[in-house]
Structures are given as structure tokens and as C-alpha cells.
Amino acid sequence: MWRMPKLADHEERRARIVAALLRIAASRGLHAASMRTVAAEAGVSVSTVQYYFGTKERLLFAGLQHQAEAVGRRIEAGLAANPGGSVRDSLYAWLVQLIPVNEQQRAGYTVFAAYHALALTDPALAEQSYTRGSDELEVVLRALLADAQQAGELSSGRDVGAEAGNLLALATGLADSVMADMRTPEAATALLNYQLDQLFVAASSTSPAAARRP
Amino acid sequence: MWRMPKLADHEERRARIVAALLRIAASRGLHAASMRTVAAEAGVSVSTVQYYFGTKERLLFAGLQHQAEAVGRRIEAGLAANPGGSVRDSLYAWLVQLIPVNEQQRAGYTVFAAYHALALTDPALAEQSYTRGSDELEVVLRALLADAQQAGELSSGRDVGAEAGNLLALATGLADSVMADMRTPEAATALLNYQLDQLFVAASSTSPAAARRP
DNA sequence: GATCGTACAGTACAGTCGTACTATCAAAGC
DNA sequence: GCTTTGATAGTACGACTGTACTGTACGATC
């Protein structure tokens, strides 16, 4: 029988409990995440959850924070995976990270949707700016588009500020439609590619949108 | 055979209770809508709610159904309010209904977000196709765009199917950004107008996007 | 080696949940 | 007028909730 070392690693314990919370939120819903179910999922007692988070409100808070950081990391990873490519491909690499293409991303989106709905009626949760990542992403998109416009890669008469906002909103809406099972992930990424093809001048688009599907 | 209602109007009672449920869901969240709080908000006893809906699951079901029908009615009203206008103005009239511009629409969106999050982990709720309205809207958009394309009003090289899907996703994403307080409703409608201006040939757009803001 | 604080487990408590059950009261049908 | 039935209220029950409290084994410190 294994016994816990008496001096525990707080960060590891907290991470384990938060992971249990997010697993439950993704599979059974955030409303099913009680002190008892989270403790059982993490393999600890309720008192341990109390010891590391004090109150359930703080536990939920930690869960949202973890989720927001995870989204931020995934978006950054999307750029790092495409270092030397064109601006168009970089834009695609950023935006496609918002569309849930596998079960893990879908689970993350489920948790995010639950927190989002909760924040709409809970001022304490809304104060935590969990959408800051999106704001930062919009700034990055605008900068990329400005570069492309100066290089003459964009269609004429485009407003880079408006295009950045609309691309982000488009990716968000496409993600919604995938989550609602109105569209397959492949169809959503194809639509995203179509929009980028319209934005960039035709000469730079050497392949049809369908060929870009992963 | 028709029978006179003995005492109460069932439809009126059910509507009153569902309205109470949706008020609570919009103000305090769907998790705060219990049998007791809904009954108190409707000014009836818990037994009355039980009498008309039997179980809470069926009450929640009725609330979602009412909400979906309300969204459908609002979108239809959006078209009826603009009967003789251009295709571009009709498109705008449809799509702008998705963006919450006042407190009532924001409340409706809050309820919808709560149900959406719940449906992601509740198979019984997900089976009810509450997104059918969006599917039908996409069909209408595609038809409108096809007409406009045949009339030569669209920019060249546009795929009406992709444009319809992307316009709907864009409006959804803009609605999300407004709900998350990342953008004002005015900014969202301006972005929507910008996108429509890009889609339609420049000659038909006689005023800058900013002038179209309501 | 006694003492102290950390890291848990167990339990108790007050409250809320959905729902079942019983009672009541007025209108409908005979 | 009596019986039946629809429409409501009140209440009770078991399950679950978050949290406070108590106990306790063990590593660190002196």
C-alpha cells in the first residue's frame, strides 16, 4: 500500500484536482461537478479539495483559469507549428486552432461553453477576463494583415481592422456550428480557407480550397 | 371531441410558468431555476408546476422549445420589416437579428447559451434540434445570394453556398463577441455591414459602412 | 524524543433539490 | 343536490449540496 509523502507538492495536487473538475465538466457537465464528485474523480477526499481550494467558488475559478491558459497555449502552438510560411498560412494556422477538430478540443470547448454560460449571469465569474486571449489574437491578426497589405498580397479596398475582427468572429461562429453538429470540422476548415482565399489576391492562391482540407 | 375547459386555460398557465422559468434563467442562470424558484416567480405553488409539466425535465424541455420558437419568430419578423428592399438589405435584416442589440435580445441569448452548454453534455436535450432555425436560415441566405449573383450584384468569383455559411457563422461569432463584452452592438453591426459591402459589388454600395450604423 | 504544523480522512449539519402523496375547493354532469 | 373531476395547495421524504468541525498520522524542528 502506497502512502503519500507528508510534504505534498501543492502545485501537483491542485493540478490533479483541477484536471478532475475539467474531466467531469467535459463529460457530465459543469453542474455535475460537486465537491464530492470532483474529489472522487481525483481519488482524494472532499477534505483534501477543501484544503487546497477552500471553497467551491475558488475551485471553479481555478478551473476557468486553467482552461483559459490552455486555450492560450494551443493558439501559440498553432503559430509555432508554422514558422516560415506565408502570411496566409500563418493566419490559417492561428484561426484553425479555434475550430474543434478532435475529441480533446471538443471537450475543451464544452467546458468553455459551460463557463461562458455561467459567466453571463455570475458577475464574479465575468470579472475574470477569460476572453483576453481572443483580444490579443485579434491584435496579432491585424498586424499580420497589415504586413500582407503593405506587401500587396491582399485584395484591394480591404480594411485590415475590420478583416481581423471578422476573421476572428468567423472562426468563432464556425466553431459554434461544429459544436452544434451543424457542420463537420472538415467543412468548417474548408469555409475558413474559402474566406482567406477571398481576402488574399487570387494570384497567391495556387490551389483550390478543397485541396487545403486536412 | 372538444371539451370546455373546466376552470383554467392550460395554454395560458403553461405559458406563464415557462415565462417565469426563462426570466429566472436570463437573470440568475438556468442553474437557479428550480421547481420552487420558478413556482415563486410565476406566483403559483410548486404543485401547480408539477400539475402542468409533471417533471422538471419536461419543464426545461418546454423552456427550450419556447426559446427556439421565439428566435424563429424574431428572424421572420426581421424579414417582414424589410419587404421591398434590395437583396443586400434583406440579408442585413435577417442577420442583424442574431446580434443582441438590446437588453431583451441579450436576455434571450443568455438563456440560449445556458441551454446550449447543457445540451453539450445532455443527450436528451441535444436530441431536440433547437438549431433547426439556423439551418433553415442558411438555406434562405443561399437562395437570396443566388438571386443576387444571377442579377450580377455580387463580386466575381463568389461561391454562394460558402458565402451563406460564412455570413451565418460571422453573425454568430459577432453575437458571441458582443455577449462577451468584447465589442459593442454598434461595432458588430458595422462589421457585418463591412462584410456585406465586400460581398456585393462596389457600385451598389453608395454609402460607407459607418453610415449604415443604426 | 517531545512538540508542532502539515496533509489529509471522516463526519455532522443546515439547507435545497425533485417528487410523491394527501387534502381541499369549486365547477360539471347526472 | 349529489357525485365526479379538474385544479390547486401543503407537506413529507430521501437524496444531495457546500462547508464546518474533529481526529490523526507523519515529517520537520528543537
pLDDT in tens, B2-59: 444 456 688 999 999 999 999 999 999 999 999 999 999 999 999 999 999 999 999 9
| Sign, Cα dihedral of B116, B117, B120, B126 | negative
Looking only at Cα atoms, what is the longest distance across chain B?
A: 65
Q: Which residues contact B49 (CB under 8 A, 6 or more apart)?
A: B17, B35, B38, B39, B42, B59
In this prediction, residue A70 carries a pLDDT of: 87
Most confident of A20-29, B134-143, B201-210: A20-29
In this prediction, residue A6 carries a pLDDT of: 52
Among all strands, which nt has the closest C1' to B45 (CA)? D9
Per-chain mean pLDDT for chain B: 88
Tell me the sheet residues that pair with B200: B154
In this prediction, residue B55 carries a pLDDT of: 96
Question: pLDDT per residue over B66-75, tens digit each?
Answer: 998 988 888 7
Q: Which residues of A touch B126 (CB under 8 A)?
A: 181
Query: From CA B124, how far away is CA B57, in angstroms rounded?
Result: 9
> For nucleic chain C, which protein residues have CB less than 7 Å from any of its atoms?
A 4, 6-8, 10, 13, 44-48, 50-51; B 3-4, 6-7, 32, 34-37, 46-47, 50, 55-57
Q: CB under 8 Å, gap of 24 or more: what pairs does A178-187 form?
A: A178/A99, A178/A100, A179/A100, A179/A106, A179/A109, A179/A110, A179/A113, A179/B120, A180/B116, A180/B131, A180/B134, A181/B126, A181/B131, A182/B131, A182/B134, A182/B135, A183/B165, A185/A99, A185/A100, A185/A101, A186/A213, A186/A214, A187/B165
Q: Do the two domains B1-54 and B67-212 of this chain adopt the same fold?
A: no
Cβ of residue A62 closer than 8 Å to a chain B Cβ: no
The CATH code belonging to domain B1-54 is 1.10.10.60
Decide: B139 and B205 in contact? Cβ < 8 Å. no
Q: Would you identify the CATH topology of the domain A67-212?
A: Tetracycline Repressor; domain 2 (1.10.357)
- Whether CB of A45 is under 7 Å from strand D: the answer is no
Q: Domain residue spans in chain B?
A: 1-54, 67-212
How much is the average pLDDT of B77-87?
A: 75
Q: How far is CA B179 from the centre of its chain?
A: 13
3-state secondary structure string across A31-48: HHCCHHHHHHHHCCCHHH
Selection from A133, A139, A62, A70 nearest residue A105 by Cα: A70
Decide: A93 and A189 in contact? Cβ < 8 Å. no
Q: Which of B120, B134, B173 sits opposite A172 (nearest CB)?
A: B173
What type of residue is B132? R
Q: Which of A28, A165, A173 sits opposite B172 (nearest CB)?
A: A173
Query: From CA A39, how far away is CA A26, in angstroms rounded?
Result: 16
Q: Which residues contact B91 (CB under 8 A, 6 or more apart)?
A: B141, B144, B145, B167, B196
- Could you identify the residue written with the cell 464544452? A110
Decide: A170 and A91 in contact? Cβ < 8 Å. no
Question: pLDDT per residue over A153-204, tens digit each?
Answer: 999 889 999 999 999 999 999 999 999 999 999 999 999 999 999 999 764 4
Residue B214: pLDDT over 90: no
Q: How far is CA A136 from the centre of its chain?
A: 13
